[in-house]
């Protein structure tokens, strides 16, 4: 089954872009944006974001604020 895309003018897109982005995301149907009757861009749904759990992705190395036991001199 082929879904037809909605066509709107650039000025209408400018006025309603956030609502159109939500609709394309929700329905998956693209929107063609025209300027002087010619398609200049298409708003299409993005790829789904793959989320992975963060648990276990951070390694604790100790106290970051504690002084270190190394002597150093500045170059100035």
Domains of the chain, earliest start first: 6-43 (3.40.1620)
Coil, helix or strand at residue 12: helix
Return left, alpha or beta for 28; rule: phi > 0 is left, psi -120 to 50 is alpha, else beta. left
**Residue 71: pLDDT band with limits 50, 70, 90:** confident
- What pLDDT sits at residue 1? 39
Backbone φ and ψ for 64, nearest 5 degrees, come out as -75, -20
| Between 61 and 16, the higher pLDDT residue | 16
Please list, in sequence order, all residues whose beta carbon lies within 8 angstroms of the beta carbon of residue 40, skipping any fewer than 6 positions away: 10, 33, 34
- pLDDT tens digit sequence for 1-38: 345 789 999 999 999 999 999 999 999 999 999 999 99
| Between 45 and 60, the higher pLDDT residue | 45
């Amino acid at each position: 089954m082929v879904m037809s895309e909605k066509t709107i003018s650039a000025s209408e897109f400018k006025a309603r872009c956030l609502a159109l982005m939500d609709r394309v995301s929700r329905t998956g149907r693209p929107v063609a944006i025209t300027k002087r009757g010619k398609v200049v861009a298409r708003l299409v749904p993005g790829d789904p974001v793959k989320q992975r759990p963060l648990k276990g992705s951070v390694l604790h190395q100790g106290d970051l604020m504690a002084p270190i036991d190394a002597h150093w001199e500045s170059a100035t």
